[in-house]
Amino acid sequence: MNPILEIQQLTHTYSAGTPFQRTAVEGVDLSVMPGECVGIIGHTGSGKSTLIQHFNGLLKPTSGRVLVDGRDIWAKGGDIRSVRFRVGLVFQYPEYQLFEETVAQDIAFGPKNMGLAADEVARRVRDAAAVVGLDESLLSQSPFALSGGQKRRAAIAGVMAMEPDVLVLDEPSAGLDPRGRQEMMAMLGRYRQQRRATVILVSHSMEEIAANVDRVIVMNQAKVFMDGAPREVFSRVAELEAVGLDVPQSARIAALLRDRGIPVGDDVYTVDALARRLLALKGGGVC
């Protein structure tokens, strides 16, 4: 299988040539396979927001290449807008981008920009609303009459309705309560399953990343600091904490247990897995 998204030696410098010059992303190599679910973590200012805005061509690399389906998106003769339909990007607090008179019209904005026929647009609006769990009766309402959580869903549906094969989300559950976070993750799971899509999730919550992705990329100071399966990344508790990142609480407990000579293994990072492992240990089972 070929990667759906490939980043080669990407560097991005803001305000180059001025005293405010700042390199936000430096020499990043990355390739994402179709259907993968990738989590990106890192501090504010670690370069992750800059990085993801290269995925759909909102930012142009200072140097390096971005390839979607093996093609350089900045190659001559390419259409950068078509890349944005293939790689959907949901910004942080996306509810602030709503502008139309009705929820349905707002969700239709992306598909309409794609130049689709009216009935196809309507189908996509319905489908996207269903994926995010917005009741059909809400579609004819003004987006500004919705509750905060519903607004967020409508905004995400607006990107999903373009039916991108890669869906990139910057902190989709920021500011939500635990139940809202769970629903958000369920929503993304539904989209991923239905479209067999690649999902790239930026999050500050280690617990959320640990429970939902099959690969974690850790950004630190403009570079990729770690890249691997959650169990590999979260077993390196000391290194993560050294760069000021949290680890999932369960990974920390597991590390403390290992310090106390309990062989829990270094591949547990969720509460459920840790509990199972411990019960197996107590029962004298091997693991």
Partner 1 sequence: MIQCKDVTFTYPAQEGREAQAALEGVNLTIEKGSFVAVLGHNGSGKSTLAKHMNAVLLPSGGTVTVDGMDTRDEALLLEIRRRVGMVFQNPDNQIVANVVEEDVAFAPENLGVPTAEIRRRVDDALRAVGMADFARHAPHLLSGGQKQRVAIAGIIAMAPEVIVLDEATAMLDPVGRREVLATIHKLHREQGITVVLITHHMDEALEADRVVVMDGGAIAMDGAPREIFTQVERLHSLGLAAPDTAELLHLLRSAGAQMPPDAMTAAECADAIANWLGK
Partner 2 sequence: MLKDITLGQFFPGDTFLHRLDPRIKLVCVVLYIVALFNAASPLTYGVMFLALAVAVTLSRVPLRALTRGLKAVYIIVLFTAVMNLFFTPGTALGATWLGRHITAEGVRAAVAMVLRIVMLITGTFLLTYTTSPISLTDALESLLRPLKKLRFPVHELAMMMSIALRFIPTLIEETDKIISAQKARGADFESGSLLRRARALVPILVPLFISAFRRADELATAMECRCYHGGQGRTALHVLRCRAVDWAVLALCALLPAAVITMKILGL
Query: Does residue 76 bind partner 1 (CB under 8 A)?
Result: no
Query: Does residue 159 bind partner 2 (CB under 8 A)?
Result: yes
- Partner residues linked to 168 by β-bridges: 89, 200
> Which has the closest alpha carbon to 85: 47, 122, 118, 124?
124
Query: What is the maximal distance between C-alpha atoms in the chain?
Result: 65
43 binds, among partner 1, partner 2, none (CB under 5 to 8 A by kind): partner 1
CB of 67 to partner 1, least distance (A): 30
Restricted to residues 30-59, the positions that interact with partner 2 (CB under 8 A) are 53, 56, 58
Query: Is residue 56 within 8 Å of residue 84, measured between CB atoms?
Result: yes
Residue among 48 and 236 whose Cβ is closer to partner 2: 48
Query: Does residue 172 bind partner 2 (CB under 8 A)?
Result: no
CB of 101 to partner 1, least distance (A): 13
Restricted to residues 225-254, the positions that interact with partner 1 (CB under 8 A) are 244-246, 248-250, 252-253
CB of 111 to partner 2, least distance (A): 9
Distances (CA, A) of 30 to 97, 219, 227, 228: 29, 12, 9, 11
Query: Does residue 43 bind partner 1 (CB under 8 A)?
Result: yes
Q: Candidates 126-134, 157-165, 210-218, 259-267 — which segment interacts with partner 2 by CB under 8 A?
A: 157-165
Inter-helix orientation angle 249-259/271-282, to 10°: 30
Interface pick for partner 1 out of 18, 76, 119, 179 (rule CB under 8 A): 179
Q: Candidates 31-39, 129-137, 154-162, 255-263 — which segment interacts with partner 2 by CB under 8 A?
A: 154-162
Residue among 15 and 44 whose Cβ is closer to partner 2: 15
Query: Does residue 85 bind partner 2 (CB under 8 A)?
Result: yes
Q: Candidates 4-12, 75-83, 174-182, 190-198 — which segment interacts with partner 1 by CB under 8 A?
A: 174-182
Residue 5, burial from CB neighbour count under 10 angstroms (0-12, 13-18, 19+) = buried
Query: Does residue 142 bind partner 1 (CB under 8 A)?
Result: yes
Question: How many residues of this chain interact with partner 1, rule: CB under 8 A?
Answer: 40
- Contacting residues toward partner 2, per CB under 8 A: 15, 53, 56, 58, 81, 84-85, 88-91, 94, 96-99, 109-110, 113-114, 144, 158-159, 162
- Contacting residues toward partner 1, per CB under 8 A: 43-45, 141-142, 145, 147-149, 174-180, 204, 207, 244-246, 248-250, 252-253, 256-257, 259-262, 271-272, 274-275, 278-279, 281-282
